[in-house]
Amino acid sequence: MRSVDKDTITEAFLGYCHADTDPRLRFVLERLVHHLHDFTKEVGLTHEEWRKAIGLLTGAGEISGPERNEFVLFSDVLGLSSLVDMVNSPDDATPSSVLGPFHILGAPDLPVGGDLRKDNAGAPVIVRGRIIDSTGAPISTAEMEIWQTADNGLYSNQDPAQPDYNLRAHMTVGADGVYAFTTVRPAPYTVPDDGPVGELLQATGRHPWRPSHFHFIVTADGYRNLVTELFPDDDPYLDQDAVFGVREGLIVHYRRKDTIEPADQAQVAAELTVPYYTVDFDLQLSKTA
Amino acid sequence: MRSVDKDTITEAFLGYCHADTDPRLRFVLERLVHHLHDFTKEVGLTHEEWRKAIGLLTGAGEISGPERNEFVLFSDVLGLSSLVDMVNSPDDATPSSVLGPFHILGAPDLPVGGDLRKDNAGAPVIVRGRIIDSTGAPISTAEMEIWQTADNGLYSNQDPAQPDYNLRAHMTVGADGVYAFTTVRPAPYTVPDDGPVGELLQATGRHPWRPSHFHFIVTADGYRNLVTELFPDDDPYLDQDAVFGVREGLIVHYRRKDTIEPADQAQVAAELTVPYYTVDFDLQLSKTA
């Protein structure tokens, strides 16, 4: 393959891969290089544009570290992270959504009905529902991780003013599959926009905001893990989430209650005050193959 | 655009770009994201594969610095750098080839016919030709930069044993457009393979070798700059250059001479010894538009 030219370079690349190459790797690389080369030819990528792209990647490397990964953020704002979620989401489960960078291990156990709100500012919100299988039956062995921002839009590990593990919990459901907790409404926030990703957002007139959300990981033996988020139907950024995390099936309504309903109070440990809100959502898991 | 799904996310990305976005940037991003999303869907990219890709990019950032850019190297071994050269190469000029990372500014002037070989090991090689326009007429105002490895496969800035600017020069041609110099034959060498790019090469059974080459930048007022390389027709790595730099039109023959031809000796300042070699190649430039 001496005569590498515009029309043969993609084939040349494949010819260079050894026959022993793992077939899946070979397939993924073949499609990657095919698309990369087609893109370059279609747009007639200039040397200056190539240098700009290399500069963005180099800058992403420089700004990344243990606390921040700009490559993940690029993947997020280009819709790649969400698309990976979508192509791996089974049809018979709640849609999955981006994990994001704010989940941390070791959140304290909270019993069903327990209180996450504690001294956080904001009206009480009861979040509740069942963890079910694709037939609607409860999964009695399910566990979930819960994390969210305070009403200042910051997670506990971003905000020295919050106690460790504020608004984070691990919950194990009972035989009825029911989960429930009291908390406050999380707030919209921005993804970091002071690096190369911020440059891209600015050049395309995009804002860095994400709609507010509850973040969950739900697991149960014999079922596929579910990472997902619940978004309020009145969030100002619902129609343009910077990281493409919103799905129609993940939008919830905060029902305002101006008098305390005994059934609500019976479900949670904290003493309700008015106004309070209820958010109802069943989390559905798909069986592992 | 609430209902972002597999089929609408590419369109959603475009919808997020503000109408004021620079049209060229919008077009390039549109094609980039289109290909990125199609790739992801075609291969059904898994979360594990996505994490692996993010890990390679993160590792590339970590190993890059003032002396090394792993993103350029990824672009090189995926054929992207060469493809950018190809799509920007005018048809009426010598094919261009990768600039690579070893060019440095400030090489000393060498007159036409001057000697680059000095005390370097290896038989003398005369490299010569004319710098011409698309009609074959000499370009009397042309200048060129020349750089190459010593016969150990290292450039002067990689090898403390070599004098500064060893085997590097800047040459200005005369009215006849002729360039000529004596030197030694460069050697094949490997691209750095101790980082993420090396991981990719290893996983696909590829070697990191580049065929030996003379590297030139040719410039003249009113003409497009030419960055190119000349490869010997008997190089063992000619058929699989790790960075896809070889073009049919850049392959030269080293003619061996066992007696000194007076015409050869007349063209160069250094006293020839046998055996010596001659490499003849005309460098053709395209007028700027």
Element (H, E) at B143: strand B143-147
> Which of A185, A143, A140, A188 shows the shortest CA–CA distance to A167?
A185
- What is the average pLDDT value for chain B, to the nearest integer? 96
The token pair at A195 is 């690096």
Across residues A142-162, what is the average pLDDT? Answer: 96
Contacts of B55 by beta carbon, 8 Å cutoff, 6+ apart:
none
- Cα A159 from chain centre: 20
Would you put residue A23 in left (φ > 0), alpha (ψ -120 to 50) or beta? alpha
Radius of gyration of chain A (CA): 23
Residues A30 and A114 in one domain: no
pLDDT surpassing 60 at residue B26: yes
Contacts of B82 in chain A (CB under 8 A): 4, 9
Residues B179 and B269 in one domain: yes
The model's pLDDT over B123-149, given as tens digits with 9 standing for 90+, comes to: 999 999 999 999 999 999 999 999 999
Q: Please tell me the pTM assigned to this model.
A: 0.91
Residue A219 lies in a domain: yes
Residue A113 lies in a domain: yes
Task: Supply the pLDDT for residue B100.
Answer: 87
Residues B23 and B136 in one domain: no
Per-window interface: A 97-126 vs B, CB < 8 A: none
Q: Would you tell me how many other CB atoms lie within 10 Å of the CB of residue B195?
A: 18
Residue A190 lies in a domain: yes
Distance from CA of B249 to the nearest CA of A (A): 9
Residue B146: CATH number of its domain: 2.60.130.10
The model's pLDDT over A219-229, given as tens digits with 9 standing for 90+, comes to: 999 999 999 99
Across residues A244-255, what is the average pLDDT? Answer: 96
The model's pLDDT over A39-52, given as tens digits with 9 standing for 90+, comes to: 999 999 999 999 99
Residues A35 and A104 in one domain: no
Residues B146 and B234 in one domain: yes
Closest residue in A to B51 (Cα) is A72
Q: Is A231 on the interface with B (CB under 8 A)?
A: no
Kindly state the percentage of chain A with pLDDT values over 90.
94
Across residues A4-11, what is the average pLDDT? Answer: 91
Residues B253 and B137 in one domain: yes
Closest residue in A to B85 (Cα) is A47
Residue type, A115: D
Residue B289 lies in a domain: no
> What range defines the domain where residue B257 resides?
92-191+200-284
pLDDT surpassing 80 at residue A1: no
Query: In terms of residues, how long is chain A?
Result: 289
Contacts of A64 in chain B (CB under 8 A): 58, 61
> Which of A33, A50, A36, A150 shows the shortest CA–CA distance to A102?
A150
Q: Is A88 on the interface with B (CB under 8 A)?
A: yes
Query: What is the pLDDT confidence band of residue A4, given thresholds at 50, 70 and 90?
Result: confident
Phi, psi angle pair for B163, to nearest 5° = -65, 155
Query: In terms of residues, how long is chain B?
Result: 289
> Which of A149, A122, A142 shows the shortest CA–CA distance to A286?
A142
Residue B224 lies in a domain: yes
Residues A31 and A121 in one domain: no
The model's pLDDT over B231-255, given as tens digits with 9 standing for 90+, comes to: 999 999 999 999 999 999 999 999 9
Residues B162 and B220 in one domain: yes
Q: Which of B47, B86, B241 faces A88 most closely, judged by CB atoms?
A: B47
Residue B211 Cα distances to B67, B116, B122, B240, angstroms: 22, 21, 17, 8
Across residues A90-115, what is the average pLDDT? Answer: 94
Residues A155 and A28 in one domain: no
Would you put residue A236 in left (φ > 0), alpha (ψ -120 to 50) or beta? alpha
Residue A222 lies in a domain: yes
Task: Supply the pLDDT for residue B1.
Answer: 53
Contacts of B289 by beta carbon, 8 Å cutoff, 6+ apart:
none
Contacts of A6 in chain B (CB under 8 A): 83, 86-87
Q: Which residue has the tokens 């976005």?
A: B21
Across residues B60-71, what is the average pLDDT? Answer: 93
Kindly state the percentage of chain A with pLDDT values over 70.
99
E strands, chain A, where? 114-115, 125-132, 143-147, 168-172, 178-183, 189-190, 209-210, 214-219, 226-232, 251-252, 255-257, 276-280, 283-284
Residues A179 and A241 in one domain: yes
User: Does this complex have an ipTM over 0.85?
Assistant: yes
d(CA B60, CA B197): 8
CB contact under 8 A, A2 and B205: no
Task: Supply the pLDDT for residue B101.
Answer: 86
Q: Is A21 on the interface with B (CB under 8 A)?
A: yes
Residue B87 lies in a domain: no
CB contact under 8 A, B54 and A47: no
Judged by DSSP in three states, B146 sits in strand
Look at chain B and report how many structural domains it folds into.
Answer: 2
Residues B141 and B240 in one domain: yes
Across residues B40-50, what is the average pLDDT? Answer: 97
Contacts of B94 by beta carbon, 8 Å cutoff, 6+ apart:
B226, B228, B249, B250, B282, B283, B284, B285
The token pair at B179 is 């360039």
Residue B229 lies in a domain: yes
| Chain pair A-B, CB pairs under 8 angstroms | 211
Across residues A155-184, what is the average pLDDT? Answer: 96
- What is the average pLDDT value for chain A, to the nearest integer? 96
CB contact under 8 A, B21 and A205: yes
Task: Supply the pLDDT for residue B2.
Answer: 63
Task: Supply the pLDDT for residue B4.
Answer: 86
Residues B40 and B99 in one domain: no
